[in-house]
Structure 1
Amino acid sequence: MARHVGHTSTKGIKMRASAYLDIAERTFGSRGSLAFLRWALAIVFLWFGGMKFTSYEAHGNAPLIDHSPIMSWLNVLFGVQGASYVIGSIELSTAVMLILGAFNAAASALGAAMSSVTFVITLSFFLTTPGVAEPTAGGFPAISAPIGQFLLKDLVLLAASVNLLLASIRVHPK
């Protein structure tokens, strides 16, 4: 009997929690996990985007951008700090779309798409940035801590972004 009462109590807690974690996506699974992905990504983009307005971040990212065939034009056209301002503005816009996406499916899809593109681009740095492979450990697939491991985390962020994007655009029967 006590086991049954505990189960009902847990179900009641889950039902109350889901009311606070409601999101715009339509899904068959736990919408709470999608809300967690959304807010985690929004925090990442707010933080990273804000940091792009500092000299520290601009100069730290300059070598990654310089070696990227996709983004190197930014440093040429805007300079190191200007390129960082452009990227920071895009990242802050992504955060805004992710936040608005909690209430609107179109904003959710746009924010998740912007997030996905961001991490596809940063993962391309894996192929273009010198120092990704660690020569003292035998080269690739051994990756360096400062560059290789820094970039590899974006694989998880890409997976979270694509998961949110697919949930945003998925059409479910009513």
Structure 2
Amino acid sequence: MEKIVNMLATSQNSFINFARIAIFIVMAWIGGLKAYQYEADGIVPFVINSPFMNFFYHSTGKYAEDKNGKLVPEYQLFKNPEGLMVKKNINWHQQNGTYTFAYLLGFVIVVIGSMTLLGIWFPKIGLWGALFTIGMSIVTLTFLITTPETFVPKLDGDFPSPNVGFPYLSAAGRLVLKDVIMLATGLLIASDSAKRILANK
């Protein structure tokens, strides 16, 4: 046990670099997927409800009647289930600017991940990557407040669930909440990069 404790105590720098690699893997993978239709469609509820990002779309704030005559946000009528490509839904997303924004966002995410990874060798670049990671994580966490889909919705039916709304996170909400880890990791990497910059002066 003592050997393990000693190994852990002397491996902090290696683990911080592993954190940089981990952020790069997540950012490059998820950012790269933004070039694909299903991933671009999937972020619409987050972006369209965000006061920080909804100006990238053209259909913000519009409502329409669903098949039951209920007034709902328009974007909810054009969801493409993962694995399906419904033409009328794709057309709506093209007019909305969904795919153009997703390409831009994906590029930015990959760049941030790459800057964070480069921090292994270039602390100044790594510091900027970490700061951008922190900023992106904070914006993502605001989706818990702005996006209705992050909590279990109240549905009509014979046996409605009592577990709706806050604090019952939906799949989307659980995905967003994980950015707390990205935020903490970004802060740790930013601190390490700043320390290395000062040591090199």
**RMSD over aligned Cα, in angstroms?**
2.9
DSSP-derived class of the 2:50 partner:
coil
CA distance in structure 2 between the partners assigned to 1:166 and 1:123 by the alignment? 21
Match of 2:35 among 39, 46, 53: 53
Give the distance between the partners of 1:50 and 1:161, measured in 2 at CA: 20
Task: For structure 1, list consecutive stretches of 5 or more residues without a partner in the other structure.
Answer: 1-5, 19-28
Which SS does the other structure have where 1:131 is aligned? Answer: helix
- Of 157, 179, 195, 1:154 maps to 179
Q: Counterparts in 2 of 1:1-174, with a 5 A limit? A: 30-76=12-58, 79-134=97-152, 135=154, 136=161, 137-144=163-170, 146-170=171-195, 171=198
Report how far residue 139 of structure 1 moved. Answer: 2.7
2:20 maps to a residue whose letter is: R
For the 8 Å contact 2:45–2:149, the answer to whether it is kept is: no
From the two aligned structures, give the one with the greater helix fraction: 1
Q: Which moved more, 1:72-81 or 1:50-59?
A: 72-81
| Partner Cα separation in structure 2 for residue 38 and residue 147 of structure 1 | 25
- Output the CA distance in 1 between the equivalents of 2:124 and 2:58: 34
Instruction: Provide TM-score, normalisation by structure 2.
Output: 0.68
Seen in structure 2, the aligned counterparts of structure 1 residues 58 and 138 have a Cα distance that, compared at 3 Å, is: closer
Q: Distance in 2 between matches of 1:138 and 1:66?
A: 22
Q: How many residues align?
A: 154
* 8 Å CA contact retained: 1:75, 1:82: no
Aligned to 2:84: none
TM-score of the two chains, using structure 1 as the length reference: 0.78
The alpha-carbon deviation at position 133 of structure 1 amounts to 2.4
Instruction: Determine helix, strand or coil for the equivalent of 1:76.
Output: coil
Give the gaps of 5 or more residues in structure 2: 60-95, 155-160
